[in-house]
Amino acid sequence: MLERALRGTSVGGCLSAARRAALVVAALAGCRAAAPGLVPGTLDVHWMHGAADCHQNTDPELQIHAYNATTYIIRQNKCLTFEAPFIYLLIGTRSALSLDTGAIETPALRDAIKRLIGDKPLLAAHSHGHGDHKASDAPFAAAAGVTLVANTPAGQQAAFGIAAWPDGLGHAELGDRPLDVLAIPGHEASHIAIYDRQTGLLLTGDSLYPGLLFIRDWTAYCASIHRLAQFANAHPIAHVLGAHIEMTSKPKVVYPYGTIYQPDEHALALTLAQLIELDDALIQLGPTKPTQAIAHDDFVIDPT
Q: Which residues bind Zn ion (CB under 5 A)?
A: 130, 206
Closest CB 22 distance from Zn ion, rounded Å:
32
Please, what is the minimum distance in Å from the beta carbon of residue 302 to Zn ion?
12
Shortest Å, Cβ 150 to Zn ion: 17
Compute the distance between CA of residue 275 and CA of residue 167 in angstroms, rounded to an integer. Answer: 18
**C-beta separation of 50 from 57 below 8 A:** yes
Residue 143 and residue 164 in contact, taking contact as beta carbons nearer than 8 Å: no
CB-nearer residue toward Zn ion: 83 or 298: 83
Least distance (Å) between residue 153 CB and Zn ion: 15
Q: Which one, 23 or 245, has the nearer CB to Zn ion? A: 245
In the complex, what is the shortest distance from the CB of residue 99 to Zn ion, in angstroms, rounded to a whole number? 13
Beta carbon nearer to Zn ion, 96 or 301 = 301
What type of residue sits at position 263? P
Burial (0-12, 13-18, 19+ Cβ within 10 Å), 261: middle
What strand order describes the sheet that includes 212-214?
Answer: 212-214, 300-302, 294-295
The three-point CA angle 243-19-298 to 5° equals 30
How far is Cα 66 from Cα 54, in angstroms, rounded to an integer?
A: 26
290 with 301: CB under 8 angstroms?
yes
- By C-beta, is 170 or 242 nearer to Zn ion? 242
Among residues 154, 137, 272, the alpha carbon closest in space to that of 204 is found at 272
Residue (130 or 177) nearer to Zn ion, CB = 130
114 versus 266: smaller Cβ distance to Zn ion: 266
Cβ pair 255, 246 in contact under 8 A? yes
Minimum separation from the CB atom of position 263 to Zn ion (A): 24
Give the chain's radius of gyration (CA, Å): 18
CB 238 within 8 A of CB 201: yes
Q: Kindly report the number of other CB atoms within 10 A of residue 243's CB atom.
A: 27
Which is closer to Zn ion, CB of 206 or CB of 298? 206
The nearer residue to Zn ion, 75 or 130, going by C-beta atoms, is: 130
Alpha-carbon gap, residue 231 to 286, rounded angstroms: 21
> Alpha helices, DSSP H only, in 197-304?
218-233, 272-285
CB of 157 to Zn ion, least distance (A): 19
Q: How far is the CB of 64 from Zn ion (least distance, A)?
A: 22
